[in-house]
Amino acid sequence: MKQRATVLCRRGDRILLVARPHARWTLPGGLPKPGESLSDAARRELAEETGLVCRNLRYLFRAAGKHKLHHVFLADLDAHARARPSAEVAHCAWFDRMEMASIDCSGPTPAIVELALDGTRVAGPVAFMIHVEAETAVG
């Protein structure tokens, strides 16, 4: 299973999502390069996809999707930082937590967002298995 550094950028209950041309919305992130740490991959992917530079990253949990193991990081961003699409993505937008059910997202994205928003008060890393077909999470 491929490992993916997945970045959650949060402003209240609003979450930053990105979309490649003709693709579904997803959280910023991607696969680490050989020898690259997951946290370095998270920072690099966030910058490459949105132009955002995070001050600090906090590892939240890992979540197994159908094809990838997501290592989810919470990014600490400047309050006035603006996300801009890059050559890699066509769109960047902030979505309210309640909008997640009505937009076309990648399979694990809504579950990861819910786990992250509900679990940011949990101390230490947690592992979850996401069953996208059933849209439930088992911890």
Q: Are strands 56-64 and 126-131 parallel, antiparallel or unpaired?
A: parallel
pLDDT reported for residue 119: 67
CATH number of the domain at 86, please.
Answer: 3.90.79.10
| Whether the predicted pLDDT of 131 surpasses 50 | no
Alpha carbon distances (Å) from 129 to 4, 79, 108: 14, 32, 10
Q: Which pLDDT band holds residue 79 (cuts at 50, 70, 90)? A: confident
pLDDT tens digit string along 10-53?
988 889 999 999 899 999 999 999 999 999 999 999 999 999 99
- Phi, psi for 15 (deg, rounded to 5): -125, 140
pLDDT reported for residue 85: 92
Mean local confidence (pLDDT), 68-86: 91
Q: Domain tally for the chain?
A: 1
Domain that holds residue 25: 2-138
